[in-house]
Amino acid sequence: QVQLVESGGGSVQDGGSLTLSCAASGDTSSTNSMGWFRQAPGREGVAEREGIATIVSDGTTIYADSVKGRFTISKDIAKNTLYLQMNSLKPEDTAMYFCAAGRWDRPKPHWYLSFRYFTWWGQGIQVTVSS
């Protein structure tokens, strides 16, 4: 089992920045991919989570078009911590943000931002951007 705990959320003004962290514990050696998802207000269920950034074991990063150029995903292997640096935040970035991890063998491109291919999830943390 892998446990994921997000931190760093909160409220920020339009154009501001936040950094989310996700501390991983447990059998982290069983994972080789980690990502960030978000779920807009009023949307329920895992299937409504939008994949926004993923990092895989070789360091490759993948971003959704909606955040490309504004958000940066990174990982500190020694600390077992995943980060999401969010700059130029917009009100439409308001959502619950989730950290997720998976174990992939020969992943296909459509896996990278799909909730279907992540096994372990954090509880989520709220990010609110006001105009």
| DSSP states along 32-46 | -EEEEEEE-TT--SG
Where residue 107 falls among pLDDT bands split at 50, 70, 90? confident
Question: How much is the pLDDT for 125?
Answer: 98
The yes-or-no verdict on residue 5 having pLDDT over 90 is yes
State how far the Cα of 107 lies from the Cα of 13, in Å rounded to an integer: 37
For residue 3, what pLDDT band results from cuts at 50, 70 and 90?
A: very high
Q: What is the pLDDT of residue 50?
A: 96
pLDDT digits (tens, 9 = 90+) for 28-86: 988 999 999 999 999 999 999 999 999 998 899 999 999 999 999 999 999 999 999 99
Element (H, E) at 10: strand 10-13
Per-residue confidence (pLDDT) for residue 105, from 0 to 100: 86
59 Cβ contact list (under 8 Å, min separation 6): none
